Homo-oligomer: A and B are copies of this chain.
Amino acid sequence: MALKVIPIEKAFMFFEPGPVLLVTTKAGGKNNVMTLSWHMVIDFTPRLAVTTGPWNYSFANLLAQKECVLCVPALDLAETVVRIGSVSGMKVDKFKEFGLTEKKAKTVKAPLIKECLFCLECKLVEYIEEHSIIILEGTKAWYNTEKKEKRTFHANGDGTFVVDGNILNYRSIMEDKIPPGV
């Protein structure tokens, strides 16, 4: 299998740049997946905050099940990810509809997505209802060692997306700010 467990302390690195995510949930024996852009790292362990709005079907599943998988798709999945974001899981089995392959996670019931670059199993820590913010804690990190396309993409909010370009290396300037194991 392409997805391999990697050290959990590297997981925040996949979210800090702000890529578009796929989030899987499981409810009533059925897997669902949604597209999500509104997320941030809140600590290195890692903990993350996410929000979409309570109108969302997957969001309701996540609140009920208290677990999910945050997956980082690469550029090859871009159109699929946008299409996933445009239909509700209430009506459609999105895994079948969009040709995604479910893989069994270790610490949660929601599935990994084999076609993604990275997946993080997460437990819900808290729901801050006033702002519809969910706090998640990462429990198991999976990296797709066989994937050639490593560029992710970021939503601009107007239907356009920006793809990862060049890399800058400023490690020498900020060495004492980089957490252990990274």
Give residues in A with beta carbon < 8 Å to B. Answer: 12-13, 16-19, 37-43, 47, 49-51, 53, 78-79, 82-83, 85-86, 126, 128, 130-133, 135, 151, 153-179, 182
User: Which residues on B sit within 8 Å (CB–CB) of A155?
Assistant: 16-17
Q: Assess whether B37 is in contact with A39, with CB atoms less than 8 Å apart.
A: no
User: Which residues on B sit within 8 Å (CB–CB) of A19?
Assistant: 18
A39 to B42, CA, bound (A): 9
A155 to B153, CA, bound (A): 14
Stoichiometry (number of copies): 2
Given contacts A79-B170, A159-B169, 8 further A-B contacts (CB under 8 A): A16-B155, A37-B41, A47-B131, A49-B133, A85-B174, A159-B170, A159-B174, A163-B168
User: Which residues on B sit within 8 Å (CB–CB) of A37?
Assistant: 16, 41
Query: Which of A40, A50, A174 has the most chain B CB atoms closer than 10 A to its own CB?
Result: A40
Q: How far is the CB of A64 from chain B (nearest CB, A)?
A: 21
Q: How far is the CB of A173 from chain B (nearest CB, A)?
A: 5
* Binding site secondary structure of chain A: mixed
A162 to B176, CA, bound (A): 20
User: Which residues on B sit within 8 Å (CB–CB) of A43?
Assistant: 53
A160 to B78, CA, bound (A): 24
Please name the residue on chain B nearest to A47 by beta carbon: B131
CB contact under 8 A between A165 and B162, given known A82-B174, A154-B18: yes
